[in-house]
Amino acid sequence: MSDLRRYLDEQLKDPEFRAEYEATRQEFALSRALVEARIAANMTQAELAARSGVRQSNISRIESGACVPTIATLQALAKGLGKELSISFR
């Protein structure tokens, strides 16, 4: 187990920390998914910006978790990646 995992496990024992962690977990997963899809497509942020019509600075903010994109922005990014956006309720 990594030091980071041990630290996170310890912090998650705090109810306030756990609530905030859970509240932002999906946003972090979205950011990570975009980065992984872009890297898998062997694209830079600038290339994705050119293909999607989304400004590179916006892509950077989405990937860093500084902002939450709209569905329209996600659709444009998916199209730029040659992918289809899929949203589900489990």
Q: What is the pLDDT of residues 11-52, one digit of tens each?
A: 999 999 999 988 888 899 999 999 999 999 999 999 999 999
Of all residues in the chain, the percent with pLDDT exceeding 70 is 100
Q: What mean pLDDT comes out for the span 55-80? A: 96
Domain ranges of the chain: 3-80
d(CA 70, CA 77): 11
pLDDT of residue 70: 96
Task: Please state which CATH number belongs to domain 3-80.
Answer: 1.10.260.40
Band (pLDDT 50/70/90 cuts) for residue 90 is confident
CB atoms within 10 A of CB 90: 2
pLDDT of residue 4: 86
d(CA 50, CA 45): 9
Q: Whole-model pTM?
A: 0.81
